[in-house]
Amino acid sequence: MKESIQAYLESHFSNFLLPGRDINTNLPYFCIKPEGIVPVAKALKEHHEFQFQYLNDLTAVDWLGKLEPRFEIVYLLRSPKNKHFRIQLRTPVEEGESVPSLVEVFVGANWPEREVFDLFGIPFANHPRMERILMPDNFIGHPLRKDYPLEGPGQDYLIENLLTIHTNEDISQ
């Protein structure tokens, strides 16, 4: 299965394919350039043999100090037709760059992409609503970045801000 997907991607999307790293993992993975993620995911979804219809997971890894570029978006696709075979698409992103949103291919990518934006600060282009989802709106920084401190006093100013949250009776006016 992995070989046939590799051959397919090499023949059709060789301009988007990046050389693979040596990772000890249980999933076959393919490194894709950010601009190629939407066409590749779409092609794998609509391919008559592979049929990766299900976006299983979407997250990011911060490789600060270990790898360049710093971030990697990790997509997990599942093919129900082929005994629920899972593959990983990995997209390297540099700090400050954005990645095309996958919402047009998989609607379910909406919230996970917002979560990645919220916790890593990686924006997704063409996303219907690229805003924080889990952290408060007035939160400063992105907690899952490796340079966000693991311990310390925390954001004291936040508690004061929390006391002055919006309390309009009717926000429509």
- Of positions 14, 26, 68, 154, contacts other proteins by CB under 8 A: 26
CB 55 to other proteins: min, Å: 6
Question: Would you say 45 and 105 are in contact if contact means Cβ atoms under 8 Å apart?
Answer: yes
Considering only residues 28 through 67, tell me which ones interact with other proteins, judged by CB under 8 A.
Answer: 53-57, 59, 61-62, 66
Residue 60 beta carbon to other proteins: minimum distance, rounded to whole angstroms: 9
Q: Between residues 17 and 130, which has the closer beta carbon with respect to other proteins?
A: 130
d(CA 122, CA 117): 5
Secondary structure element (H or E) that encloses residue 44, with its range: helix 37-46
Strands 85-93 and 29-32: parallel
71 with 94: CB under 8 angstroms? yes
Nearer to other proteins, 48 or 83 (CB): 83
Judged by beta carbon, residue 100 or residue 118, the one nearer other proteins is: 118
For residue 149, give the DSSP letter: -
Q: Is 23 in the site for other proteins (CB under 8 A)?
A: yes
Rounded to 5 degrees, what angle do the CA atoms 123, 6, 8 make? 95
Which residue, 17 or 74, has its beta carbon nearer to other proteins? 74
Provide, rounded to whole angstroms, the least separation between the CB of residue 97 and other proteins. 20
Nearest to 128 by CA among 108, 147, 156: 108
Choose which of 151, 152, 153, 163 interacts with other proteins (CB under 8 A): 151
Closest CA to 121 of 56, 162, 71: 71
* Nearest distance, CB of residue 170 and other proteins, angstroms: 7
Structure tokens belonging to residue 138? 């007035």
User: Applying CB under 8 A, which residues contact other proteins?
Assistant: 23-27, 53-57, 59, 61-62, 66, 74, 76, 80, 83-84, 86, 88, 106-108, 110-112, 115, 119, 129, 131-138, 143-144, 148, 150-151, 165-172
